[in-house]
Amino acid sequence: MTLFGPTTRAIRERLYEEDRRYSVRQVAGRVGIEPAYLSKIERGEVSPPSEVTTVRLAKELGQDPDVMLALAGKVSADLQAIIRKRPRLFADLIRQLKEAPDEAVLRVVREVRDGDW
């Protein structure tokens, strides 16, 4: 059910085709984990790594950290902190937007970005 491993493997292998520096060993080395551990992660033998490791891995593979964290079944700690500061407000907002089409959410994002508050 967790696509984190296979997805990671696919991305790394694609990079490896053009650049030998994307072997399990070398990527693991730059990310700061053991090669055997990365191998297990990619095959889904173990659950996705911690947030810190996931983010390092995402950056290493040129991926969006938030997307990688989502695949890992997590939500970035900094986002959680923002929500926790005003729980009712954000809980309402997010639940409101649950069924909204991407288009509508995007409109809100832009509106807020250009907002006059």
**Chain positions contacting a second copy, by CB under 8 A:** 64, 66-67, 69-70, 73-76, 78-80, 82-98, 100-106, 108-109, 111-113, 115, 117
Instruction: Please state, in angstroms and rounded to a whole number, the distance separating the CA atoms of residues 56 and 11.
Output: 14
3 binds, among DNA, a second copy, none (CB under 5 to 8 A by kind): none
Q: In the complex with DNA, which residue's Cβ is closer, 45 or 92?
A: 45
The rounded Cα 94 to chain-centroid distance in angstroms is 19
Q: In the complex with DNA, which residue's Cβ is closer, 33 or 108?
A: 33
25 binds, among a second copy, DNA, none (CB under 5 to 8 A by kind): DNA
Contact 42, 54 (CB under 8 A): no
Written as six digits, the tokens of 12 are: 């790394």
In the complex, which residues of this chain contact DNA (CB under 7 A)?
16, 20, 23-26, 32-40, 42-43, 45-47, 49-53
b/e per residue 68-84 (b: at least 16 CB within 10 A): bbebbebebeeeeeeee
